[in-house]
Amino acid sequence: MPLGVDIPVKEVKRYMGYHGIAGVTPEIEAKINEAVERVSTMSHPRLLIKEFPVTVTEKTVTIHAGSEDVLLESESLCRNLSGCLRVLLLAATIGPSCDMLVRRASVTSAADASIYQACGAAAIESFLDSENDRLKREYEADGLYLRPRFSPGYGDLKLEHQKDWFRLLDISKQIGIELTDSLLMMPTKSVTAIIGIGGDVRRNGCSGCSGCNMRSTCEFSEGRS
């Protein structure tokens, strides 16, 4: 995988709290551009994917991983995966550099720290989106359709299941993300997710803001002006 990652400036601004407005001063614009450049060249994106057979009922998803069955109890995930016989489990990170850039910026400037933070968030999302699109095309070529990706902690899927992802994918060893006692990932700009593989095109299920339990209070919620 090549070093570096594309970071859409528009997304960086959204994470910084600009909701589609003008009024970004030239000083901030310059800072954003510098941060985007740095985070983008210093990041080392890594992705880990494995395909597993699943059994989906109304309330449970069972992942069949060789000799082990992993049970996920989550109605929102079940809605997302209904009808799927297989899933992709994935983990991705842009590496530890961005965390260091944020720590460095924190020493000297709160503004810089928040900009680097936003760049990192935009970077991991953008990396995942492009990998997600690539997978989508690959599967569509075989007549299969990918559901929107879903992460531990979304809806009623407990964050506790991070441990299952780490075990099933051997994430720490393969791409260097570690889980803290409080289930946070280090490097912080990392994502774990599940993607359903379905035989038909469907857009329902839990995706975007409508399925999120933070939608009423989230600053980044779509449709906020």
Partner 1 sequence: MGLRERLGKEWLFCDGGTGSILQGLGLKGGELPETWNLTKPDDIKALNRGYFEAGSNIVNTNTFGANRFKFDNVSEIVSAGVKICQQARKEAGRDNDAYVAIDVGPTGKLLEPMGDLSFNEAVDIFSEIIKAGYEAGGDLVLIETMSDSYEAKAAVVAAHEVCDLPVIVTTVYDESGKLLTGGSVEGTVAMLEGLKVDAIGINCGFGPKQMLPIAERLVACCSLPIVVNPNAGLPRTENGATVYDVDPEEFSQVMEEIAKLGVHVMGGCCGTTPDHISRMIGKVKLVPFTSPVKKQTTYVTSFADCVKIGRKPVIVGERINPTGKKKLQQALRDNNIDYILTEALKQEEAGAHVLDVNVGLPEINEPEMMESVILKIQSVTNLPLQIDTTNIEALERGMRIYNGKPMINSVNGKEENIKAVMPLVAKYGGVLVALPLDESGIPATSDGRIEIARRIYEAADSYGIPRKDIVIDGLAMTISSDPESAIATLDTVRRVRDEFSGHSILGVSNISFGLPARELVNSHFLTMAMQNGLSCAIINPCNGPMMASYRSYNALMNLDPNLGEFINAYKDYVAGTSASSGSAKASSASSGVVLTLAEAIERGVTGRASEAMKEALDSGRDSLEIINSELIPALDRVGKGFEAGTVFLPQLLMSADAAKAAFAVVKEAMADKPRNTKGQVILATVKGDIHDIGKNIVKVMLENYGYDVIDLGKDVPPEVIVDCAIENNIRVVGLSALMTTTVASMEETIKLLREKKPGTKVVVGGAVMTPEYADKIGADAYAKDAMATVRYCDSVFGE
What residue ranges bind partner 1 (CB under 8 A)?
3, 16-18, 21, 23-25, 27-28, 44, 46, 50-53, 63-68, 70, 95-97, 99-100, 102-104, 106-115, 117, 153, 159, 167-168, 172-173, 175-176, 178-184, 186-188, 214, 217
C-beta neighbour count of 121 within 10 angstroms: 21
CB 164 within 8 A of CB 70: yes
Taking the complex as a whole, the smallest distance from the CB of residue 71 to partner 1 amounts, in Å, to: 11
Helices (H) and strands (E) in the chain, counts: 7, 8
Q: How far apart are CA 225 and CA 214, in angstroms?
A: 17
Query: Which of 134, 159 has the CB closer to partner 1?
Result: 159
Pick 134 or 214: Cβ nearer partner 1: 214
Q: In the complex with partner 1, which residue's Cβ is closer, 102 or 135? A: 102
Neighbours of 153 (CB within 10 A): 16
In angstroms, the Cα distances linking 25 to 7, 18, 110 are: 20, 12, 16
CB of 105 to partner 1, least distance (A): 9
Q: How far apart are CB 201 and partner 1 at their closest, in Å?
A: 25
Cβ closest to partner 1, residue 148 vs residue 176: 176
174 vs 204, which CB is nearer to partner 1? 174
In whole angstroms, how close is the CB of 200 to partner 1 at the nearest point?
Answer: 23
| Nearest CA among 90, 34, 81, 63 for reference residue 206 | 81
Phi/psi of residue 91, each to 5°?
-140, 140
Kindly state the smallest distance separating residue 111's Cβ from partner 1, in Å.
4
Angle at 110 between CA 115 and CA 182, to 5 degrees: 80
Q: Minimum Å distance from CB 45 to partner 1?
A: 12
Return the number of the residue (41 or 204) whose C-beta is nearest partner 1.
41
Q: Pick from 92, 80, 91: which is nearest to 197 by CA?
A: 80
Report the C-alpha gap between 200 and 146 in whole angstroms: 9
User: And the tokens for 91?
Assistant: 């983990």
